[in-house]
Amino acid sequence: MPPDFWERNLWCWVLLLGFTIGSSGDVPPIPQTKCADFQNANLLRGTNLKVQFILFTPSDPSCGQLVEESSDIQNSGFNTTLGTKLVIHGFRALGTKPSWIDKLIGALLRATDANVIAVDWVYGSTAAYFSAVENVVKLGLEISSFLNKLLELGVSESSIHIIGVSLGAHVGGMVGHFHKGQLGRITGLDPAGPEYTRASLEERLDARDALFVEAIHTDTDNWGIRIPVGHVDYFVNGGQDQPGCPAFIHAGYNYVICDHMRAVHLYISALENSCPLMAFPCDNYKAFLAGHCLDCFNPFQLSCPRIGLVERGGVQIEPLPKEVRVYLLTASRAPYCVHHSLVEFHLQEKRLKDTSIKVTFLSGNVSSLVKITIPRQQLQGRAVMAHTSPLCQTNQVKLKFKASNRVWKKDQTVLAGRFCTAPLPVNDNKKMICLPEPVKLQADVTVSHDVNITCV
Ligand SMILES: *[C@@H]1O[C@H](CO)[C@@H](O)[C@H](O)[C@H]1NC(C)=O
Ligand SMILES: *[C@@H]1O[C@H](CO)[C@@H](O)[C@H](O)[C@H]1NC(C)=O
Ligand SMILES: *[C@@H]1O[C@H](CO)[C@@H](O)[C@H](O)[C@H]1NC(C)=O
């Protein structure tokens, strides 16, 4: 663990505490309506979990109904022939309703015909993270006995999908464990790291907790868990730091949770948009960026997993492998998805030093940039480009050879080579698209090439 971790987190606690105290006393009373809503724990914490199950249905997506007993469920709009999605939030520092929950529920109901049940455990999740952690088993048991009521009404275990955020992901794992791994699916949105990285498989989310377990990792260096916990584990932009999130502590609360909450916003975006958040299996992020992992052959036999509601994330093989790390890049804003392309430069002659070439793709007014490094004494360098438009909508490619600061006597300032690109997944070399002529690059001079790639 980096030395600044504890220091940074200590600072978080102070900050969160400050926010909690600052928000006391001035919370407006909740208006009484016929629709059920989340509780507001404010500074009341405690051993009493006060769990609420709030049902939302396709016929009335914005009005929640409290369901607790079998009779409530039968008298509600719950439809036993549809799938059921359970949303479980995590630690609530401020004791308030999660800001993203309405958006997630709405997006789920628009994307699929299902019963959506929000689990409100704001009371048990507030005040101190460690007391929230202590409540996880108790909450897991309560949710499990609620699910048993659904099963008695004829709901099948495999039609149940738990979506757990942060600590809620481990709650989902606990529930799945109580149901012997027979629930259909668990989606962990940046499963919590603190207290869980070294926890046993029974205590934390893992691949045995459901028929299909997936996790989206966006803050593995802080609030999220850094180890794989599902069948498929998405490490978004490497899993640590997200584009568009503030990198400095001065950004306050947003700095503290922006990376962690990105998993939720990505998931909502995947439900609302058709552009694919597709990912590629690889040993590590560095190897992915260096263009060493270009398809999904191993271990998925060419079906690349994607974030969203597609069954098993689109992975079609049997039996499902476990703890497969998959990588993807994203844009800094919704809809987040990018098109990944391999970019490659082949030198005509080996060079005595590492060669660095900046590649820019232009589609209309949108541009993206990546750097290819060709190691000394080698002929070829690769990288993965993330561009918001498909490769076939790229109309211009710019190349720039970056000369080293100190030009050595033997380091020529001119080079020649061939530039090629291909959209991921690259299944064979036939798909490579190359600039027709060898490119001559002079140090620090940008060369532009118009390209016209047909969309297939
Ligand atoms: C339950 O959902 C099914 C499938 O959409 C539909 O045919 C049926 O009418 C629904 N039942 C009720 C009571 O709404
Ligand atoms: C780029 O072009 C699109 C559509 O042509 C336009 O909506 C957008 O505002 C432009 N962006 C910039 C930064 O000029
Ligand atoms: C690109 O190529 C296609 C087919 O080869 C041609 O019809 C089209 O006009 C070209 N577009 C541009 C912008 O050159």
Q: What is the pLDDT of residue 371?
A: 97
Q: Which ligand is nearest to the CA of 454?
A: 3
Task: Give the Å distance between the CA of 36 and the centre of ligand 1.
Answer: 23
Separation between Cα atoms, residue 283 and residue 290, nearest integer Å: 12
User: Domains along the chain?
Assistant: 52-328 (3.40.50.1820), 339-450 (2.60.60.20)
Task: Give the Å distance between the CA of 81 and the centre of ligand 1.
Answer: 7
Nearest atom (ligand 1) to Cα of 79: 1
Q: Which ligand is nearest to the CA of 364?
A: 2
pLDDT tens digits along 134-162: 889 999 999 999 999 999 999 999 999 99
Task: Check 37, 120, 190, 219 and give the catalytic one.
Answer: 190
Separation between Cα atoms, residue 188 and residue 72, nearest integer Å: 28
Q: What is the pLDDT of residue 405?
A: 63
Active site residue 341: no
Q: Is 363 in the pocket of ligand 2 (CB under 6 A)?
A: no
**Cis ω on the peptide bond leading into residue 228 (within 30° of 0)?**
no
Residue minimizing CA distance to atom 1 of ligand 2: 365
Q: What is the pLDDT of residue 409?
A: 53
Q: What is the pLDDT of residue 437?
A: 86
Residue minimizing CA distance to atom 11 of ligand 2: 365
Residue type (1 letter), 251: A
Nearest partner of 422 among 368, 383, 448, 449, judged by Cα? 383
Separation between Cα atoms, residue 295 and residue 285, nearest integer Å: 15
Residue minimizing CA distance to atom 1 of ligand 1: 79
Active site residue 190: yes
Q: What is the pLDDT of residue 451?
A: 92
Residue type (1 letter), 257: I
Residue minimizing CA distance to atom 12 of ligand 1: 79
Task: Give the Å distance between the CA of 389 and the centre of ligand 2.
Answer: 13
Alpha-carbon distance values, 22 to 124, 346, 376 (Å)? 20, 59, 57
For the chain, the three-class secondary structure string (H helix, E strand, C coil) is CCCHHHHHHHHHHHHHHHHHHHCCCCCCCCCCCCCECCCCCCCCCCCCCCCEEEEEECCEEEEEEECCCHHHHHHCCCCCCCEEEEEECCCECCCCCCCCHHHHHHHHHHHCCEEEEEEECHHHHECCHHHHHHCHHHHHHHHHHHHHHHHHCCCCHHHEEEEEECHHHHHHHHHHHHCCCCCCEEEEECCECCCCCCCCCCCCCCHHHCCEEEEEECCCCCCECCCCCCCEEEEECCCCCCCCCCCCHHHCHHHHHHHHHHHHHHHHHHHHCCCCCECEECCCHHHHHCCCCCCCHHHHCCCCCECCCCHHHHCCCCCCCCCEEEEECCCCCCCCCCEEEEEEEEECCCCCCCEEEEEEEEECCEEEEEEEEECCCCCEEEEEEEECCCHHHCCEEEEEEECCCCCCCCCCCEEEEEEEEEECCCCCHHHCEECCCCEEEECCCEEEEECCCCCC
Taking the CB of residue 446, how many other CB atoms lie within 10 A of it?
A: 12
| Burial class, 385, CB count within 10 angstroms (exposed 0-12 / middle 13-18 / buried 19+) | buried
pLDDT tens digits along 319-352: 999 999 999 999 999 999 999 999 999 999 999 8
Residue minimizing CA distance to atom 10 of ligand 1: 79
Nearest atom (ligand 1) to Cα of 80: 1
Q: Is 438 in the pocket of ligand 2 (CB under 6 A)?
A: no
Q: Which ligand is nearest to the CA of 57?
A: 1
For the chain, which ranges sit under pLDDT 70? 1-33, 42-47, 250-251, 405-412, 428-430
Contacts 24+ apart (CB under 8 A), 314-320: 315/231, 315/232, 320/207, 320/212, 320/231
Q: Is 364 in the pocket of ligand 2 (CB under 6 A)?
A: yes
